[in-house]
Every structure is written in structure tokens, then in C-alpha cells.
Chains A and B, each alone.
Chain A
Amino acid sequence: MSLIDLSHDFETSVLERVLAKGRSTGAGFSEIFIEDKRAMGAGLDDGKVEAVSNARSSGAGIRVINGETTGFAYTSDLTEKGLMAAAEAAAAAASSGDGGTHTVSLQALTRQQVNNIRIAPTSVPKARKVELLTIANDVARGIDNSIVQVSASYGDSERRILVVNSDGVFATDEQVRTNFRITVVANGDTGMQTGFDSLGYTIGFELFDEESIEELAQRAARQAVTKLKARPAPSGAMPVVIKCGSGGVLFHEACGHGLEADLVARGASVYANRVGEQVASPLVTLVDDGTMTREWGAIGIDDEGHKAQRNVLIENGILTDYMWDHIRSRQEGRAPSGNGRRQSYEHLPMVRMTNTFVMNGTENPDDIVRATEKGVYVAKLGGGSVNTATGDFVFGMTEAYLIENGEITEPLREGNLIGNGPQVLADIDLLGNDFAMGNPGTCGKDGQGVPVGDGQPTLRVKSMTIGGTAA
């Protein structure tokens, strides 16, 4: 199944008519978001390649904004008739009763492609993709006799979008992503432990020329085996050192969400009305950058048709800007920031992060550990979540160690860390010079998931609460 050529299959005149229909009940703004997406996946579990699968979805979401009201309808019928019906439903939903004729005239299409794919995943035989799974399985099982189970998954997707709106936006993007994940279970005297690692980039199958599946499998397997000797994590507050490339989710939760302009405008963010203020340790410069080609959160245009941008959110600890989508930037009379994203044509866009990271500091990472008398060293963080209104957030540590007398010592069992965003940002007291991006992530907000990246150098938070069971 090949994807629709979005730039050729829709006549400009049809799009103009649909946009005009969207504004037929008096709305000031109408938008067509057309998406064609295919995904292929394969999983291995218990030594067997399980259901190899394909999924295909295509459709259009029509958004009409009338004053403060948004009408939205979506359809999988991409004929002019289908688009017109959706536009009519969206227009009715945002009706002000004013009516009237609104014409829209589109200029030349802006064509983006977030990356130059070297090897299109669809050109690769499925047998080759399946082979990667068995390689990972064999490598992981060969690491140690304690390994009792391995599951791995391969996935690739190709997403074409076309965004057209009554302000004249007329842009298209093609986003190809490829990923691989592995989970290993080891069994020992104290029960089972898991190890996990993943790769994911906005590139094609060349991912597997550039990154090693064998090393990925080894890392996940060693993590599980190491954790067999883990002791319960401590409970209470203490210094936490987070390894480079493993803790970007800290910033994603501690402040990223709170810097999304929709939450700010609702007064549901602890960072509202604080631009220009010191909101973090002076060591922290936080950036959200959709233009980082190759990274998991990279985009050519956002899902409202605006080009991806690099946005500095916090500079030397001072809050410089929020992230913006169409609605919020229009309300503020400013330009959008390329952060309007949606899960699919069935969803309304919202302010979302892309690749969010903290820039390098100056410390040698080894010195950061050495400077810590007693604390926890987190080598791999799991997921997290935040209440943006209070700033309270949690995230899981999936690989962690005790720090005793400036040295990394015993492995710890899993647990959550908890903190308050503004407090933790202020408490970052050492920042390394070893910046790295972390694992690919899926950020959930209001029921929608989008791919995001994160990164940071090794850093220390003066005090965080570790949710373990040991005294």
C-alpha cells in the first residue's frame, strides 16, 4: 500500500472550496489537516516472532474557529464530497449564525521533508526486519544464564501530512520514523528483574547501519542481570545525580508541560506570568527544538503547517518564553512557535513539545559523582507525569545505584522519584559537559500521544525524594 501523494492528489480549487465551506457560518478561520499514515510492526516474545502487522489510516480533520469556539470534524472520506461534509459539520459546530461568503485563495505549496531518508523502510524486506528481532533475542539470552525471557519489537512508520488554512498556510511534510525496543527478564534468588532499552529516530532503516542492535540488547540484558543484586531503594530526600541522556524526562515533566501556552493561559501552570523571572538554577538553559533532524521528536512542519523551530525557553535560569500553537499565539498577537501538534487527523492540535533538552554545563561528570557524599545515581529513568498546576511531578528510575563517599556502589530496585518542578529546577547545583539525547518517548496529553525527544548532560539535584522502602 503506497501513500497518497498529498501535493498532487488534492486540487487547490477543491481545498479552497472546503476552506470556504468551513467559514460559511461566520467563522474567521478554517483549516484542513490531511494525513496518510502507514505503520509496520513486528514483535518477538518467548523466542518466537509474533504477529507481524501492518496498519494504514488516512483521513482529514477540519477545524473551524469562530471567536473562542472551535468546531472540529474528521472523516476518512478524502473525496471532495467527504471533505465538504466534514467542513459543514465543523462549521455548524462553530456557528455564530452570521453566515456569508468567505473566499480563500491559496498560494504555492511549501514542501518540507523533515529528513532525507536514505533507506525507506518500505523498501526493506520484512524478513530483514524480523531478523533484527532474532539477533536481539540471541544476543540478550547469551549474556547470562539468569536471563529467562526476552521480548523485542520493531516498528516503522511513514506519515504524510498536508495542512491548508484560511490564513494562507499551505504546507506538507513527510515524517518517517523507525524504532526498536527490547525488554529482558532475569530471574535470581530475590525474584525477577527487568532490563529495558530502545532506539528511535526520525530516519529510515539506515538506523540499523548507524546503531547497533547487539549493543542495545547487551545493555538491556546487563541491566536486568545487575538488578538481580539490587537492594531496596532508600526512602526520603537526598541528592540525586542523573546520568547524561537518561534524565531529559525530568525537564519534560518538571517544567516542559508547564511552559505550554495553553496550560499557561488556563492558569493551570506554576510558570504562568513568570517570563523574565528566575525560575531555575542559573546553570539551566532549556531548549525545545523541532528542527533537530534525526531525533525522535523532529518535524518539518508542525500539525498546523508552521515550520519547526528552535525555541529557547529558559536561559541561564530565566524564563524567556512559552511554547505556542495557533490559537494561543493568535490570542497573544504573536507568531506561533511550531509546537502545534496532534496524534492524528482524528485529533485537535494542542501545544506540544518536540525535542526538549538542557544544554551543556562545564563539570566533568565523574567530578559530579565524586562531589556527592551520599545519594542516588540514576542511569536510566522511566516515564513520568506532572500536575502542572501544582508543579508536583513523579518519574520512575529503572536503573539506579547508591552513591557512597563519592563512588557509585550498589544497584537499587525500581521506584518513583517525586519532586516539585520549580523547587527541583532551583536545586540543580552541578551540570556536566557530556550532553546526550535520551531514549525515544511518547508524550501523552489530554489523551493524545506524540513522539518526543529529550536530552541533558549529567547533572545533580541537591535534594529529591526517593520513593523506596529502605530506611
Chain B
Amino acid sequence: MSGRTVDDLQAIADAIVAEAVPGEQIAASLSRSTETDVRVRNGEVEHFVSAQSQGVGITVIVDGRTGTSSAGSFDEASWREVLAEARENAQYGSVDEFAGLAEPDGVPIVEQKLWDDDLAAFPTEKKIEIAKELERLVLAEDSRLRIDDANYSDGSTEEASATTLGIRSSSRSNSCYATVSVLVDDNGETQTGWAFALGENPAQFDLPAAAKKASERATRLLGAVKPPSRVTTVVLDPMVTSQFLSIIGGTLNGESVSKGRSIFADRIGEQVASPLVTLVDNPTDSRAYYARETDGDGLAARRNVLIENGVLKMFVHDAYSARRMKTKSTGNAGGCVALQLTPGTKTQEELIAGIEDGVLIDSVQGLHSGVNPVSGDFSTGASGLVIRNGKTAEPIREFTIASTLQRMLLDVQEIGADVDWLPMRAAGVSLVITGVTMSGA
């Protein structure tokens, strides 16, 4: 377990579970968190948020019927009320033969460093100073830049859970980051950029790199035009690949598969992607932003190979979907949180050098509205740079790229070596995909 155990929360979780009557399963989870959020603009603090919150969530399963309830306080009167509500709600669920909490499976937990003492002790004035410093560094990059806002945020969470099947876990975690969003004006045109800095504590932030990235993102789109429509080869920037992989991860979720909503149902053992594609979900890899010890059911997180050399190997499961599909939980209650593609050997520049005619996709917009994971249709707004004769050329914007998720996986032509452990559910890496329709003027 990380840090010290959270004794008082664990005691309440245990007390709730102890209320179970014969034939009743109960799972209780409690959390207590703090948050600091500083926003700076023009050298002044625009807002400073400091807050604490807490919560309790209870699931009750009786005779295959499930009910849940939650509240924002966990004094005894409150949790008893929440428990009563969850019990009442359970009466209204359908009988589901697969309903039930996770059985302990003996898979050992891989310890993660989730708590940082230096962050916990970091003084408030310095948090403000970090946001101001980031703002100064950005403005020094390019005289045409304006700051939209510069932010420092951190938070800490203590959690404890218990179930009537004997799963108990508690943890303490904290995290911090700084972000900046910028505007650049040139010849009556405005473009935007953003960047972040991450670390276990603020001393690890690389603020100059973040400032440079924000400036680069904004300025390199200046003068962008709407391109003509055509079918082309795209290079997805690591951030875009990460978003793409998160969607793919969702389609491999056991619940979607068991309920007939996955484009990959019944395709285990088939070639669903280019042989270059090996996709792993590994929350025990400490480099992953969402590295964790246990999943949402309280089972140990573990490494799972989802696609190997393009062949679909498995779906991911929580206790419920595993029971439905007569298999074992893969420790994925809550879905995939640490996806990674096996990298190739080339830098992004080297990948681009091999492309005569294509587009580098810098950012995408509207994935939530343009991608349907059930049909596989993929269509998203994008901006980026034209690739001509192996080099990036003029910027383009206000166009879409479209294909299907199935085709895109098969059309992966190269994977870069530039793995980026982004604060997302998938690590980023440059990805070359052919046969994508670009729709513009």
C-alpha cells in the first residue's frame, strides 16, 4: 500500500460492510480529498481555490439485484442513510444472474509510488509563483503571444474500501500539474496553444519546455488555410494517438463485447490491425500517468496484452463482465487506464522524411461527437501541417479527417519511437496511417 494507511476511513468502510445480513453483498468506498487551484493572469492571481471534500458510495447486491447510493458526507447518520437507500434501490433492479462483487483472485499487487511528501509540504506562495513563472516564460518566447491563463493545480486523495467478500484496500495519493493556454495575434489572425508541466512534485516541472511547447503550438498554426479534400497519409502527433488509443481501448471492454456493442466481438484470434500493432494495457508500469495498484473492484491491476502483432488476443474485464463471459476478471474495472503501443525505431522527423505527400495532425477537435465506437465511424475536426517531400510545410486548419476505427488499425504503416507518457489513459507515440479522407474546401 502507498503511504500510511487511512485508518479512520478504513474503519468506516469495515463498519458499513459489517452491517451485511445473510445473503447480502455490500461494497463500501470512502474518499477524502483536498484541492488547490491557482489561476494567474497578467502577473496577478485571478483566482485561488482551496477546498476539501469527501464522499461515501455503497453498493448492495441481494438475490442478483443491485442498488447503489452515495453522499458527500460520511458521519454515521449519513452512511446509515446511504446504506438504507442502497438497500431500497436494490429492490428495484432486475435479477441478474451475473451480478456480484469481485472474488479475491490472489494476484499480487504491484506497489506504486502514489504519494509524494515534498508535494504535500509544498508552500502555497510557491504554488502562485509557479503559475507566474510559467506566464513569464511563455511571454518571453514570442512577443506576439498573449496569456489566456496560467494555472497551478494540485490535489490529494485518501481512499479506503471494503467488501463482504474480503477485499480491503486503502491508499493515499497526490498529484500536481501546471498548465498554460496562450493566444497569438498576427495580421488580424488569432491562434491558440496550450501546454502542461507534470511531476511528482513541482520541483520536477520543466516549465521552460512547457512554455516553448505552448508557443510552438500557437505560432505554428499562424497563416493556416483550409486544405482541399483528398485521401491522404496522416502522421498523428503523440497527443492525438493517445486519444485514438483510448477510443480503441473502449471497444475492447468486456462489457461492450458481452452486450453486443463492440466492433471487435467474435474476433479474438483474428488479424484486426497491422502486424506492427502490439497494444498493451499495463497500469503497473509506473511511467503511466494512471499507474495504480488496484482496479475499481479492488483486484490487483495487471499487464494485459490486448493486440499482439495485429492479432486480437483478449478483451478486458471487470468481475461482472468476466462472469457474463465465463472468464476471469483482468483487473480492469473502470476500463483500460494505461494503454501503450510497442514503439518503433524512428523519430517523428524520420517518419515524416519517408512521406512524400501527407499531413501531420497536430490536434483534433470533436472526437466525442464524431466517433461512434459501436459503428466504428471515425470523423474529427483537425489542424496540422502539410507534409511535402519528406518535410513539414504550410499549416492547415478547419478540415476533418475520417475513416473507420477498423480501417485505421489495419492501415497503420509505421509507429514512432517517441513514446510520450501523457496525463491520459494511453501513452502517446507518433503513428503513420494511410488511406484517411481529409475533408476541407
Contact = CB atoms under 8 A, between A and B. Distances in A.
Q: A and B from one assembly?
A: yes
Interface of A: 1, 42, 44-59, 67-76, 89-90, 93-94, 126-127, 129-130, 148-149, 185, 187, 191-194, 227, 233, 235-237, 266-268, 270, 346, 348, 382-385, 387, 389-390, 392-396, 413-416, 418-420, 465-469
A466 B401 CA distance: 10
The 8 closest A-B pairs by CB, nearest first: A467-B400, A396-B369, A416-B370, A394-B366, A235-B439, A415-B379, A394-B381, A93-B48
A75 B72 CA distance: 10
Contacts of B399: 418, 465
B70 interface: yes
B327 interface: no
A50 B94 CA distance: 7
Chain B, interface size: which category?
A: 35 or more
A468 B68 contact: no
B148 interface: yes
Contacts of B4: none
B261 A149 contact: yes
Contact of B48 (A69, A233, A270, A466): A69
B47 A346 contact: no
29 contacts: A47-B94, A51-B67, A52-B66, A53-B68, A53-B89, A55-B69, A55-B70, A56-B72, A58-B72, A73-B49, A74-B53, A89-B50, A185-B261, A192-B260, A192-B375, A235-B229, A235-B400, A235-B402, A236-B440, A268-B148, A387-B192, A390-B191, A392-B365, A394-B400, A395-B366, A416-B379, A416-B400, A418-B398, A466-B400
Contact of A385 (B149, B368, B437): B368
Interface string B368-400: 111010111101110100000000000001111
Contacts of B82: 54, 56
B59 interface: yes
Contacts of A394: 365-366, 369-370, 380-381, 400
A394 B45 CA distance: 33
Contacts of A93: 48-50
Contacts of A1: 81, 85
Given A235-B438, A236-B440, 20 more contacts: A1-B81, A48-B94, A50-B96, A58-B72, A59-B72, A69-B45, A72-B48, A76-B54, A192-B374, A194-B375, A235-B439, A236-B441, A266-B148, A267-B183, A346-B53, A382-B369, A387-B192, A394-B366, A468-B437, A469-B403
B112 interface: no
B12 to A, nearest CB: 15
B263 to A, nearest CB: 7
B329 to A, nearest CB: 18
B220 interface: no
Contacts of A58: 72
> Which has the most chain B C-beta neighbours within 10 Å: A51, A149, A415?
A51
Contacts of A75: 51-52
Contacts of B54: 76
Contacts of B400: 235, 394, 415-416, 418, 465-467
A415 B402 contact: yes
Nearest to A187: B260
Given A51-B68, A56-B72, A394-B370, A467 B439 contact: yes
> Which has the most chain A C-beta neighbours within 10 Å: B44, B383, B437?
B437
Contact of A467 (B48, B91, B372, B379): B379
Interface of B: 41, 44-54, 59, 66-73, 81-82, 85-86, 88-96, 146, 148-149, 183, 190-192, 226, 229, 259-261, 263, 365-366, 368-370, 372, 374-377, 379-381, 383, 397-404, 437-441
Contacts of B365: 385, 387, 392-394
A192 B261 contact: yes
Contacts of A69: 44-48
A195 to B, nearest CB: 10
Contacts of A94: 48
Contacts of A384: 366, 369
A191 B93 CA distance: 31
B370 A415 contact: yes
Contacts of A387: 192, 365
Nearest to B439: A235
A382 B91 CA distance: 35
A468 B374 contact: no
B214 to A, nearest CB: 14
Contacts of A467: 370, 379-381, 400-402, 439
B69 A54 contact: yes
A40 B379 CA distance: 35
Nearest to A272: B190
B263 A191 contact: yes
B27 to A, nearest CB: 11
B69 A130 contact: no
Contact of A194 (B95, B259, B372): B372
Contacts of B59: 51
A44 B93 CA distance: 9
A127 B92 contact: yes
Contacts of A348: 47, 49
Given A75-B51, A93-B48, A395-B369, A389 B190 contact: yes
A71 to B, nearest CB: 5
Contact of A414 (B72, B94, B372, B437): B372
Contact of A54 (B41, B85, B370): B85
B177 to A, nearest CB: 13
B92 A416 contact: no
